[in-house]
Chain A
Amino acid sequence: MAVAEIDPRTLDIDPAVTDIDPVEGRPTLVAGAPGFAGVTEAVSRAVEWKPPRGWYVVFAISLAALGTLGVAVAWLFWEGVGIWGNNIPVGWGFPIVNFVFWVGIGHAGTLISAVLFLLRQRWRTSINRAAEAMTIFAVMCALVFPTIHVGRPWLVYWMLPVPNQMAMWPQFRSPLMWDVFAVSIYGTVSLLFWYLGLIPDLATLRDRAKTRVRRLAYGLFAVGWRGSHRQWMHYEKAYLLLAGLATPLVLSVHSVVSFDFATSQLPGWHTTIFPPYFVAGAIFSGVAMVVTLMVVCRVAFKLTHLITLLHFDRMAKLMLLTGTLVGYAYATEFFIAWYSGNPFERFAFINRALGPYAWAYWIMVTCNVVVPQLFWFKKLRTSIPLLFVASLLINLGMWFERFVIVVTSLHRDFLPSSWGLYAPTAWDVLTLIGSFGLFFTMFCLFVRFLPMVAMSEVKGVLPEARVNH
């Protein structure tokens, strides 16, 4: 059985040493010049060897949280939506906040995969596989919430355009229906894109498999891939076109999600800035989540020479850009609320900053506007501890952004006699924690059984892959 003659000890390369590519004169994307076989070995052994002890700890905690989700949803179905804090006027509370939060996180995976591919950013090759996996799991978590938050979940199928015995059909002009199509199609297309990218790497694992079960399992999904150039041509064309389709998809899906709010009449919701603002925010929070995941995975699975400080530097710049855009959107909303002269619009924003939920508003502003400004400085962009803490704060801030948008706009709208307050119940919180359990359980399984770095793509950007004739 052909095995690359690599001494495993040489794979623990000092990631601080980045080689300079002699032809391009820039740092190589991969440190330590592992060569093609080194890349195969480094990524495959994460799947083939027993996972580090930390994986078992994280998996156990995630499973426990997933169990919590199961209990919370079961109790919800039994007792009804009353177990949550949703009330009138705040008819949309945690469930929709969580839905938008998770969908937003998913978008960065597609950005890294599709948009950075179209922009020929070759550094994406080390992180795109994990980012796409993150997207799929985030969309799974997102779809849980609209499904369970309806008062009669056994009628959820009414949202689907399927012939039924009542001869009833959905109403397609509603943004909520647009959401059904947008998010489920986004999940499907992301899955197709991720799977297409996996095929050559599954073939690698199939060819290295030492047990029959592994060979059959990987072989089944590798569909007989044999690296034929005639097949690579079709593969590359399909990949390019999928990237071209996924890009407007990212933009349209989160715009459609923002339409859930923007097509209403509520001050603070009814504004045309929502689609670009939501999309920028989604990429912002998603990249932060990728950073959180990669900081841990690269160390745990000894991939520090494939996922280098250069990658974090680029992701920090993305967070700086999208964070600044989000900050600009906050400022624009405020300005337009004042400039419009509309008393309801003006009140909505003053209430956000100074009203009963001001604490949530200022957490949001600190985490989303102040924290990413740190990334103007290269030293801070490449400091792993800072990146980790900042990415967590950014996701906290982005969750609070959705909380502020949903709750503060609803709790005090046009008529003061309708005003009220909202507080989540323990079940709201447990369901949110449970959704993290679902996400991390899926991610743990992903890193355990599938290659978390796109091996064939990384090999393609190594200096050795360049053809000089």
Chain B
Amino acid sequence: MSGERTLWGLLAEFTTPDRLVVACRGVRDAGYARWDAHTPFPVHGLDAAMGVRRSPVGWFVLGLGLAGAAGGMLLQWWVSTTAYPLVISGKPLFSWPAFVPIMFECGVLGGATGAVLGFLLLSRLPRPFHPLFASERFERVSDDRFFISIEAADPRFDRQATEALLGRLGAEHVEPVETGGGAAGARARGER
């Protein structure tokens, strides 16, 4: 891996969210598939401009939430009827209305865990090393600049044509991003 540098893709920098959205439409219409936009905050309208589908995080929340609630009720049912039955204020052993608060709380815990887990899994995070971190200008993605990255692995990628397209779409700066090699890896690991 060391020494061998291949082109990972192109990184285009934009100064305003407006320009980014317009550019994204252009990249989407040109038929690219392996590309992404990078912003310091979520920009409205990028979903449609990029043509991406809605996030399925909700299914994680629903699934784990229901599982949590069911688990909470199951725990209480099992303890109160089998493991350690106690007659409290004359209530039946499976006094389910009295079990609702804990069941609800367990459901919320499951849902919240589902939200965070779903987000991490779908985003493929944690991922501390990424070729884009080798770019100095990319550090401004968490500050005040907006970027589009198009991967070389995309079937429509062509070094000259793609770079020209990004320039036409209003990019202030386009740079190649390389992967592998000692310098890029070292930079991504935080050694300057």
Contacts and interface: CB of A to CB of B under 8 A. Distances in A.
Interface of A: 1-2, 4, 35-37, 40, 161, 167-174, 177-178, 181-182, 185, 188-189, 192-193, 195-196, 200, 203-204, 206-208, 212, 215-216, 219-220, 223-238, 241-242, 245-246, 248-249, 252-253, 256, 259, 455-457, 459-460, 464-469
B122 A234 contact: yes
Interface string B53-97: 011011001000100000010011001100110101101000100
B38 A229 contact: yes
Interface in B136-157: 136-144, 147
Q: Name the 10 nearest CB pairs between A and B, nearest first.
A: A36-B144, A223-B126, A238-B119, A169-B84, A173-B98, A224-B127, A460-B41, A204-B142, A237-B55, A231-B123
B111 interface: yes
B116 interface: yes
B108 A456 contact: no
A233 B101 contact: no
Nearest to B132: A226
Contacts of B123: 228, 230-231, 234-235
A207 B142 contact: yes
Nearest to A243: B115
A227 B142 contact: yes
A468 B21 CA distance: 10
B101 A178 contact: yes
Nearest to A216: B190
Interface centre among A171, A185, A208, A249, by most chain B C-beta atoms within 10 angstroms, is A185
B116 A182 contact: no
A206 B79 CA distance: 47
A223 B125 contact: yes
A200 B42 CA distance: 10
Interface size class of B (residues with CB under 8 A): 35 or more
B133 A226 contact: yes
**Interface of chain A, helix or strand or loop or mixed?**
helix
16 contacts: A2-B137, A40-B144, A169-B83, A181-B106, A188-B112, A192-B112, A207-B143, A223-B120, A224-B129, A228-B123, A234-B122, A237-B119, A460-B41, A467-B17, A468-B18, A469-B18
B42 A460 contact: yes
Contacts of A206: 142
Interface of B: 16-18, 21-22, 36-47, 50, 52, 54-55, 57-58, 61, 65, 72, 75-76, 79-80, 83-84, 86, 88-89, 91, 95, 98-99, 101-102, 104-106, 108-109, 111-113, 115-116, 118-120, 122-123, 125-130, 132-133, 136-144, 147, 190-191
Contacts of A259: 101
Contacts of B54: 233, 237
Given A192-B113, A226-B130, 12 more contacts: A37-B144, A178-B105, A181-B101, A185-B109, A219-B128, A225-B125, A238-B119, A241-B115, A242-B115, A252-B101, A460-B42, A466-B44
Interface core residue of A228, A259, A455 (most chain B CB under 10 Å): A228
A4 B84 CA distance: 64
A295 to B, nearest CB: 27
A34 to B, nearest CB: 10
